[in-house]
Amino acid sequence: MRAAIVEKPGVLVVRDIPPPVMGEYDVLCELLCGATCTGTDQHIIYGRMPWPIHYPVVLGHESVGRAVEVGPRVRYLEEGDLITRVGTPPAEDGSFDIAWGGYTELGIARDHRAMREDGRPEELWRGYRVNRVIPDEIDPAAATMIITWRETLSYLSRMGVGAGSSVLVIGSGGNGLAFAAHARNLGAAEVVMVGSPLREGNARAVGVSKLFDYHAEQIDEEICEAYPDGFDYLIDAVGKTGQIDRVLPVLRPEGTVGLYGIDDFDNAAINPRRARGTFTYFNGGYDEADTHDAVIGFMRDGALDAGVWLDLEHPFELDSIHDAFDALRGRKMVKAVIRLHGGGA
């Protein structure tokens, strides 16, 4: 089967690998579609991840698959189910590892509920709680957004964003737009973004009331002039060193700062003296599995529209995945859809 593999930093290829071997709680899936994660995928491609990656590595963590075969102990997943976060496991002979392994033609989901009920060790099933069934009426290409939406909604909810909150998001990429959309859906009264003017239309579509150009030299003064009362929450979706400091003066006293992005993971720093007063640094992370049902509800209600992030009508084929990343680097799109199997999009 075909898979997108980073052989070493800077070298992305599409080549054949052996199909995955099923276990008794496993479900074999045809991978239909995947969405690029502009930050994580490109960090892996260029060797910039803040934790070790063992190359060669199968890329992709936002893939959706259709179940085609189930193991003998599977009880809660069925043939024909559309399932999130499917990927191939690492090679048993060590010939390749995975960075979630979603850009390939076949992958494995696992029945974590059955494993838990049967008393299997938690380390064998906990990571598979993200393998959740998607309603059949949801387009598989659009469903690739569920992974980003679940992660960011969990993070935002744990921060405490809710009705009446005022939120400033740094970053206008896939995660930044997701934070903005969720803030509105959770009832935030004001959602403002620092990002690229190229994303003005996308930002407006998810409820951002104003986008400030991140190139502005005195951006804190511009924001303070427009929003003198400041913001309850400041969320950095990118993680570039110094970006939080630039806008920290707009955070209200007793506000909360969250650093989600990983661009400069090992060099993150905040100068607290730039703040108006005491603030909280949120370090509660997220649990993607917890927000699956909420995300599906928002999708059904039309409150989350994958078309804001993805060009659903023009997916890239797996063998053309380089073109997708070229388009992302050229800022021609927020995220790209990769068609992994013939019937996927």
* Domains of the chain by start residue, with CATH: 2-144+310-339 (3.90.180.10), 148-282 (3.40.50.720)
Q: Where are the alpha helices (DSSP H) in the chain?
A: 38-45, 112-117, 122-125, 140-143, 145-159, 174-185, 200-205, 219-226, 243-247, 292-300, 321-329
Please state the pTM of the whole predicted model.
Answer: 0.96
Task: Quote the pLDDT of residue 204.
Answer: 98
Task: Please name which of 235, 266, 254 lies closest in space to residue 155, comparing C-alpha atoms.
Answer: 235
**What pLDDT is attached to residue 283?**
96
Across the range 148-171, mean pLDDT stands at 98
Condensed to tens digits (0 to 9), the pLDDT of residues 75-105 reads 999 999 999 999 999 999 999 999 999 999 9
Paired strand residues for 104: 3
pLDDT digits (tens, 9 = 90+) for 169-186: 999 999 999 999 999 999
Question: Does residue 56 have a cis bond before it (omega within 30 degrees)?
Answer: yes
Query: If pLDDT is split at 50, 70 and 90, which confidence band does 268 have?
Result: confident
Q: Could you give the CA distance from residue 204 to residue 86 in angstroms, rounded to a whole number?
A: 32
Q: How confident is residue 344, by pLDDT bands cut at 50, 70 and 90? A: very low
d(Cα 260, Cα 244) in Å, to the nearest integer? 11
Say yes or no to pLDDT of 343 above 60: no
pLDDT digits (tens, 9 = 90+) for 4-25: 999 999 999 999 999 999 999 9
pLDDT (0 to 100) of residue 342: 54
